[in-house]
Amino acid sequence: MKNRTTVERKSERETVVTRTFNGPARIVFEAWTKPELFKKWWVPKSMGMTLVSCEMDVRTGGKYRLVFGQGMAFFGSYTEVTPHSRLVWTNEEGGDNGSVTTVTFEEKGGKTLLVVSELYPSKEALDAAGTGAADALVETFQQLDELLVTLGASVGRA
């Protein structure tokens, strides 16, 4: 049973991804905070990249560092760790233009609603980060996606 992933660009500086998981918050939180578990899913095989090391000191003020086989590193520190409900970390490899990621875990009836927000210091920083290829995207991707499907169908008929 697969749940739907939705993506929105909340503002010029922020993207938000939402997904429900079929398990309690403590389990989903564990998967985000134990390096041996995090390593299993953060880099999907389809990305063609491998995570060679994953160090995570998950507590307020603690640091993390992910190193990819291609020599790329992803690092920063945890600014807030609230077990089973909220994680906030900074991304420092971009210097002052680094983003802040906030992950919230909300349990309802044995399932967990996960919300991942990435906030950049400026629109330019988000755009530069590559996730911002769509500079002026302010509407929800979900709505846009539906529209594109409609349009794709009508263009195909023309």
Partner 1 sequence: MVQYANVGLDASFAALSDATRRGVLEQLGRAEASITDLAEKFNMTLTGMKKHVGVLERAGLVITEKVGRVRTCKIGPRRLEDEMAWLERYRQLWDARFDELDKVVEELKRKEQVDGRKKRE
Residues that bind partner 1 (CB under 8 A): 2-3, 5, 7, 17, 19, 21-23, 27-28, 30-31, 37, 40-47, 131, 133-139, 141, 143-145, 147-148, 150-155, 158
| Cβ-contact 42, 133 below 8 angstroms | no
Dihedral over Cα of 145, 133, 9, 25: its sign:
positive
Smallest gap from Cβ 61 to partner 1, in A, equals 26
SS3 82: strand
Q: Which is nearer to partner 1, 7 or 100 (CB)?
A: 7
Q: Which is nearer to partner 1, 52 or 61 (CB)?
A: 52
Radius of gyration of the CA atoms of the chain, in A: 17
Q: Which is nearer to partner 1, 119 or 137 (CB)?
A: 137
Smallest gap from Cβ 62 to partner 1, in A, equals 21
Q: Which is nearer to partner 1, 27 or 100 (CB)?
A: 27
φ/ψ of residue 125, rounded to 5: -65, -40
How do 63-68 and 86-90 pair as beta strands? Answer: unpaired
| Cβ-contact 91, 101 below 8 angstroms | yes
Smallest gap from Cβ 153 to partner 1, in A, equals 8
Smallest gap from Cβ 15 to partner 1, in A, equals 9
For residue 66, give both structure tokens.
């992910």
